[in-house]
Structure 1
Amino acid sequence: MSARYRAAVLGGGSWGTTFSMVLSDAGTEVSLWARRPELVRAVNERHTNPDYLPGVELPAGVRATTDAAEALRGADFVVLAVPSQTLRANLLDWVPHIPAGTTVVSLMKGIELGTAKRMSEVVTDVLGVGPERVATLTGPNLAWEIAQRQPAVAVAACADQPTAERLQQACMTPYFRTYTNTDLIGCELGGAVKNVIALAVGVASGMGFGDNAKAALITRGLAETVRLAVALGADEHTMAGVAGMGDLVATCNSPLSRNRTFGEQLGRGHTLDEVISTTRQTAEGVKSSESILQLATAHGVEMPITEAVVGLLHKGLSPADAMQALMTRSAKPERYGV
């Protein structure tokens, strides 16, 4: 029986490769684009991605190529799995090959530097497509666990419900349960801001603080995420769901989380440059923190944890000073600014 959908996954990192597996297991035909020929050969000949998912056997249906035009040919879904800050430049290269009428799906959880735009807004900018053609797939999606086919959930978000439902159908498997949501703004913000909060939780852990401190950062981090989301027109209830609290809890608590692990190294006293030099994969919150704070400032939203993380990462603030700044803020009611 022929596949119901065809997907081009652009990006051969851990999450792009893992989501290719999910799509294939769901019965979707998959073409995976990666830059490096040796990675493409490993996927096609040995059904593995040794650089990012060592020991994981990929479905034979996942075929890889270094030719973006080949990967994109006839795609119903174009799935973007590159670092957030490289999206615009990559899209400009891919524009001539993206099929008319295809749905563009972002797996990225970041905010563009300079423009402070969400990934769907970058897609719209470059491709000039309508909202019914732009979606995101988000949630507590730690790639290594999903690559082991452990149970996980996600949200297929698009302003157009039928498009969200098609994406849901394309990636629903017995181990990967997908919900739909038309609140694209809220789902994207939940995925982006949680990386910044996870950095803060990692710093607290690296400094030796316990579960009380980490729980405080997670819950107050959720509060400032809600404030920003509502200011940008999102539904605050989205933040209580898979794309909000679900993703936040997983990213802040798991040793598999790049942002949490990055923050731990900072909390132990390593400099930003030292941590970057030893980190192979992208911790999206490091750069997106500045864009998120820019968004918050433009909309008059108070985000003290995000501000502390920006100070720590980009303005020379020490972990101890950042924590003191948070703990000595003026007294407030628990719920404010929404």
Structure 2
Amino acid sequence: MPNKVAVLVAGSWGTALASVLADNDLDVTMWSRNEQLVHEINSMHRNEHYLPGIKLSQNIVATTNMQEAVNEAEAVVIVAPSAAMREVAHQLKSYWHKDMLVVHATKGFELETLKRMSTVISEELQCSEGQIVVLSGPSHAEEVVKRCPTTVVVASQDEEYAIKAQNLFMNSYFRVYTNRDLIGVELAGALKNIIALGAGMSDGLGFGDNAKAALITRGIAEISRIGVELGANPLTFAGLAGIGDLVVTATSQHSRNWRAGSLIGQGQELSQVLKSMGMVVEGIRTTKAAYRISEKYGVQMPITYQLYQVLFNGCEPKRAVEALMGRDPKTEMEMMTLETWEQWHS
């Protein structure tokens, strides 16, 4: 077990994971470019902007110097927004070494390249993607820092790395499972934010529980369809990273994506919503990326398509829902082809 872990950066989820690590008797150094936030963490043991009212462990310190954060750390946890991931990983390369465990907990794509976060990190660190671990699952930062029971999954193509991450994070309130399906876990974590936006939009329109249940259910079908096309194990989408994370993100007011969708459903403009949120809403960028991915691979993603029209082409939310309801009749069992299913069970 390592003695020191670095966490990059000090947002709500990064701070929550730092708290878990501190509870495991590890020395945690958080890195942030925000000098005021670093001072607040070091002097007051708080991060009021992201997690108001929470007292942080004295095992957590912060710095604006990445070298200081990473120096002598045996593991680094990257929780940078997807838009900043390549830059952060590029900077980390100067201090990272091959024996350092790298875990990321960011749910999104690089918009310019449509690449997953583990791919971006491995490219910048010039290491195998198999050395990267992704942490995902149903986990609101606001609940984790209060030590509410939470269960997540860590995935790596190399089981040894996944087990190391499992041992790093697991404790009495933070249960961690391992998974070998890195692609599926990453895709599930990113794509569920789109469905959460749609669920919030449905609630903002006042459409009730029936509509939201349909969105969640058909959403997991949509996620599975593109996931299988990209090489994921379909069973992953029935687990913590899939249904688990989708349900918690699409039904809770803790969720930024749900809140953003709700405000859009109530008639607010996207720019106004993003300004009022004051935090990154990954589902917005992910909708654009997933729309491009669906076109690239020729996979139908009707919910994503309609959300893209609302967010970027000025379509009214109510009209988007009507378009979804008015689609041609389908069979429910269309998540994957028989050929694909047989491939996974051969």
Deviations 1:31-69 (A, max 9, x none): 111112221122122211122112111111111111101
Deviations 1:65-92 (A, max 9, x none): 1110110112222211111111112222
The CA distance in 2 between the partners of 1:295 and 1:36, in whole Å, is 34
The CA distance in 2 between the partners of 1:40 and 1:173, in whole Å, is 27
Matched letter for residue 282 of structure 2 = E
2:251 is matched with 253
Matched, 1:36 2:30: no
Q: What does residue range 89-104 of structure 1 map to in structure 2 within 5 Å?
A: 89-104=87-102
Mark the CA change 1:5 to 1:165 in structure 2 (over 3 Å): closer, same or farther. farther
Q: Percent identity at matched positions? A: 42
2:309 is matched with 311
Matched letter for residue 27 of structure 1 = D
1:5 deviates by 4.3
1:300 is matched with 298
Deviations 1:261-316 (A, max 9, x none): 00000000011111111111111010111111222222221110011111110111
Query: Could you tell me whether the CA contact under 8 Å between 2:13 and 2:141 is conserved in 1?
Result: yes
Question: 4+ runs of 1 displaced by more than 6 Å?
Answer: none
Q: What does residue range 182-193 of structure 1 map to in structure 2 within 5 Å?
A: 182-193=180-191
The CA distance in 2 between the partners of 1:262 and 1:225, in whole Å, is 20
1:50 is matched with 48
2:61 is matched with 63
Q: Unpaired runs of 5+ in structure 1? A: none
The CA distance in 2 between the partners of 1:5 and 1:242, in whole Å, is 29
Superposition RMSD in Å: 1.2
TM superposition score normalised by structure 1: 0.97
1:215 is matched with 213
1:337 deviates by 4.8
2:275 is matched with 277
Which residue of the other structure, out of 180, 183, 192, is the alignment partner of 2:178? 180
The CA distance in 1 between the partners of 2:3 and 2:292, in whole Å, is 39
The CA distance in 1 between the partners of 2:184 and 2:315, in whole Å, is 30
Shifted more, 124-133 versus 314-323: the winner is 124-133
Matched letter for residue 296 of structure 2 = A
Aligned to 2:109, the other structure's residue is in SS state coil
Shifted more, 198-207 versus 47-56: the winner is 47-56
Shifted more, 6-15 versus 32-41: the winner is 32-41
The CA distance in 1 between the partners of 2:97 and 2:5, in whole Å, is 11
Q: What does residue range 43-192 of structure 1 map to in structure 2 within 5 Å?
A: 43-192=41-190
Shifted more, 281-290 versus 96-105: the winner is 96-105
1:96 deviates by 0.9
